[in-house]
Structure 1
Amino acid sequence: MGTSSVAANATSAAASPLMRLDQDPLVYLANNTGHWYCSPDCVRGAQSEDNVQNYTKALMWEGMCHMARRDSVREGDGPAIVDMWKFDMVSFWTKKHFKYFIIAHQMLTGVGEFLPARLRHNLVWNRVGNVRGGAGRNVGLDLINEFLNNDFKEMLKHSRGQYTDKQVQRVSEMSGSFGRLLDRLFPQAGPGSMTYGSTFSHDGRYAADIAKFVKEFKGDGLFEYLPGRSHGGFDNFHYKTGIQNVEKMGAKIRKLAQDMDLWARLSYNPRKDPFVS
């Protein structure tokens, strides 16, 4: 830790245990020690961490990852979605979600030449669907299936528990966009809507919350280094981004790859190989 020669002339200055936003980071008194620090590095080494800044950076990182993932799905960008799986596989390992780690490894290995070309293309490019049409409005296939399931359950609910197998089959065929199309073609059919769609709109519902958040926290210096701060309930917050047990993760990946190779050899049928005469 270095001290400036002007420290003797500054001992009468008001000392503050925390750095203020209006103070020069190169010249200020820290923790009432009466010393001037020569650089921000010296200050960081002498004082406690800023857990508010740590939490802000962690939240921003997770939010940006979510935005990148959402954008790749909305645009139907297959290679970008695959790249997100690479991030996810490491995250699954670090957070000990080993079942999903294995699934991610199988998916990435599959698109990396393990599977036939047709299946590789399907995994990369056929992972999204578009319910309403238009560019940049894709959603994941799992979400589309959820939409269909909800439509199916909603229509059956209006049967009041009295329905036959034939009616269940008819309702399943009218789930989703087909049922909504019939509603538009026959609005005065008599029995009412076939799909019972929700009237709740998602458009702009976050705008007010975001505006309120910015107004409330704009002056708090969330990205400034103010040592000693912490959010209530998040004391000593540390965001760990490093890979835990790298060697062990590498060994697990090798073992999974060997298992997949063994599975491929056991399931290989030379009679179906077009290159075997």
Structure 2
Amino acid sequence: MNDMVEILEYLHQFVPFSRREEELQNVEVREENSAMRTIPLGGDQLSCERVRGAHMVRLDSDTPEERLEGCMSMIEDFHEKMNFIQMLMDKFYSVDSAREVGTLYQLKCLINRRNVTKNASKDYHAIGAFVDIACEGHVIAAALTFFGMTDINSQCIRIPNGIHLADVPLKKRTLKHMIGELVDELLLNKISQSIERLENEDDATDGHGHQQDGVFNYATNFLKFSLLRKICVMATRSGDGNRVIRHWKYAMLLYHTAHKVKYRLEAFLLQAGIMALYTPRIKHQIIWNRFINLSGGKGRNLDGDYVMELLNKYAKSRVKLVNQNHSPELVKRIGKTMMFCHDVNHHLEKQIQGVPISRKHVSQDSTSDLQKVVRELQNADVFTFTPNRYHASFQHEKSDIFNDFDVKEFHKWITVKKKEYAVGKKAF
């Protein structure tokens, strides 16, 4: 904790103040309500927890500077994405399901993704790419099943006759209506079904008195879970702060179900700050200053904490070059000059017309893998409700990812947290 206090003391010198001349010269005459522009300090969950701990250590100090109020914690999104995909792998990935068609591990073996493991922190990008392919395969297979098509080139039996003669607006409305029916059928719970399911005490039925289809439940639940992740990734790339914050609302419920109490708390504090506690300026900063674009252009935004991970990796590679000769002063100098040296190297290469370092990753075409996933899901007919089916490794798969959500327990927890922070506990 002492290290975190020292870090905040160092960062506090960059916090802008509005001081009178006598306040600048004499610390003892500084006013309690001096104009101080608080700056959000982004990081992962552990960093935010340590920032709040440093604030608690200095809580009884006299001045805002001594209480370190110029820096406040702001949870960022890259490490949250890692935790979110870890929840997905914990729920849907089992090495015992190699022979169960349509499960995540079986699909991994089908397309030979050997670098995919259950541990998301081991190779996040490989696991994310695999989950995205599985998600796209589920979307295509669900659409083909719902529209009565054998493949993407076959005729859709749900298209009204003569629609090719209609104008463009009518075609768009028809398409949106058809997609809406697909979403209602596979992704959303109808109110009548939800009420019947709550009233029905028998977990073996789906609310209509029919037996559950565990295979169908597994496929639709994975589709919901993976789409939530994919939407968040797309929101980050587009710099859509509102959509990212909306993702945290769903994530808070899923973290509660998965008993990830620390990220559940971070999600609560983020929502509480934006809805009630932040000033308009800080609220705008928290929502929209979550992204960094290193290369320019649309769809190329990155999470702030991910960029920091890249910078840390680059700085460590510079430090390794000096071997045992490094010192605190040398490390500080490397940290301050590494981006400048990087720019100098870049401009020098342009002047001597050297071959520039490519910023693009050459990725293999995944169309073949996607087609394999779609065919496998179609052959297993996972999106056709067939009672009494189940995967042996996932026998207790419910009809929705929020079925295990304990509303009473969550309400009790969130009520306690609201009381704690209402009586003066430092949340940021």
Q: TM-score, normalised by structure 2?
A: 0.45
**In structure 1, what is the Cα distance between the partners aligned to 2:409 and 2:392?**
36
Amino acid at match of 1:93: H
1:225 partnered with 2:388: no
3-state SS in 2 of match to 1:222: coil
Q: Kindly indicate whether the alpha-carbon contact (under 8 Å) linking 1:113 and 1:120 is maintained by their aligned counterparts in 2.
A: no
- 1:98-117 aligned at under 5 Å gives the runs 98-117=261-280
Displacement of 1:109: 0.8
3-state SS in 2 of match to 1:263: coil
**In structure 1, what is the Cα distance between the partners aligned to 2:321 and 2:369?**
35
**In structure 2, what is the Cα distance between the partners aligned to 1:129 and 1:206?**
28
Cα shift readout 1:112-166 (whole Å, capped 9, x = no counterpart)? 1312222111111111111111112111111111111111122223333432334
Displacement of 1:103: 1.5
- How many residue pairs align between the two structures? 218
Aligned pair partner of 1:151 in 314, 333, 336: 314
Other-structure match for 1:255: 416
**In structure 1, what is the Cα distance between the partners aligned to 2:348 and 2:403?**
58
Cα shift readout 1:231-273 (whole Å, capped 9, x = no counterpart)? 4533443354136331232222222112212117x99xxxxxx
- 1:233-244 aligned at under 5 Å gives the runs 233-238=393-398, 240-242=401-403, 244=405
Compared CA separation, residues 204 and 180, structure 1 to 2 (3 A):
farther
Compared CA separation, residues 158 and 210, structure 1 to 2 (3 A):
farther
Aligned pair partner of 2:344 in 165, 174, 182: 182
Q: TM-score, normalised by structure 1?
A: 0.66
Displacement of 1:108: 0.6
**In structure 1, what is the Cα distance between the partners aligned to 2:345 and 2:368?**
33
**In structure 1, what is the Cα distance between the partners aligned to 2:246 and 2:347?**
43
Amino acid at match of 1:213: V
Other-structure match for 2:406: 245
Over alpha carbons, which structure has the higher Rg? 1
Displacement of 1:212: 3.3
Percent of aligned positions with the same letter in both sequences?
23
Q: Write out the 4+ residue segments of structure 1 that deviate beyond 6 Å after TM superposition.
A: 197-200
Other-structure match for 2:8: none
3-state SS in 1 of match to 2:264: helix
Other-structure match for 1:125: 288
Aligned pair partner of 2:369 in 204, 209, 213: 209
Displacement of 1:62: 1.0
Displacement of 1:169: 2.4
Compared CA separation, residues 181 and 211, structure 1 to 2 (3 A):
farther
**In structure 2, what is the Cα distance between the partners aligned to 1:205 and 1:168?**
41
Compared CA separation, residues 58 and 93, structure 1 to 2 (3 A):
same
**In structure 2, what is the Cα distance between the partners aligned to 1:211 and 1:153?**
41
3-state SS in 1 of match to 2:323: coil
**In structure 1, what is the Cα distance between the partners aligned to 2:423 and 2:298?**
43
Mark the runs of 5 or more structure 1 residues left unpaired by the alignment: 1-20, 23-40, 189-196, 268-277
1:95 partnered with 2:258: yes
Compared CA separation, residues 237 and 254, structure 1 to 2 (3 A):
closer
Mark the runs of 5 or more structure 2 residues left unpaired by the alignment: 1-144, 149-204, 351-356
> What is the alpha-carbon root mean square deviation over aligned residues?
3.4
Other-structure match for 2:214: 51
**In structure 1, what is the Cα distance between the partners aligned to 2:343 and 2:412?**
53
Other-structure match for 2:327: 164
Compared CA separation, residues 200 and 126, structure 1 to 2 (3 A):
closer
- 1:191-210 aligned at under 5 Å gives the runs 201=361, 203-204=363-364, 206-210=366-370
Q: Kindly indicate whether the alpha-carbon contact (under 8 Å) linking 2:253 and 2:405 is maintained by their aligned counterparts in 1.
A: no
